[in-house]
Amino acid sequence: MADTATERVAFDSSVLILFLNDALAPQHVHTLGDALGAGRGQISAVVRAEVLAWSGHTSLSLSVANEFLDAFHLVPVDATVANEAARIRREHGLKMPDALIAATALLQAATLVMANARDFRRVAALRLTEA
């Protein structure tokens, strides 16, 4: 489990969608709250796009999601992130969105919290917490 008091914590869209649908386990809700409260919660721009593109949104839930996502430090996809994502995709075979999310977590020295670690486990250098 990520130590949200002392390290950065990056979140995958799967965890945030679970949270927005009141389906995230209580201990992970706590992790999320601690990370945001300590100013250590971050997301890739890709995660923001994935959460907002979720097909289950209503007008109200889209508004709530935007406000919720604004609480995170947003890490843009710049050349450094893109280059690292390309390396991860080449070497580990992750799909590009997951490679971009993994690259963001690695470059930010953050623990990545996600709901399905299967693909992310291919990247041995990633610190992972499965929700």
Q: What is the pLDDT of residue 38?
A: 95
- The pLDDT tens digits of the residues spanning 61-100 come to 999 999 999 999 999 999 999 999 999 999 999 999 999 9
pLDDT above 80 (res 1): no
Upper half-sphere CA count for residue 28 (Cβ side, 13 Å): 22
* Domains of the chain, CATH where assigned: 8-130 (3.40.50.1010)
pTM check: above 0.85: yes
Q: Average model confidence (pLDDT) for the chain? A: 94
Q: What type of residue is 52?
A: L
Question: Residues 114, 131: contact at Cβ < 8 Å?
Answer: yes
∠ CA 32-107-91 to the nearest 5 degrees?
Answer: 110
Q: State in Å, rounded, how far the first CA of the chain is from the last one.
A: 9
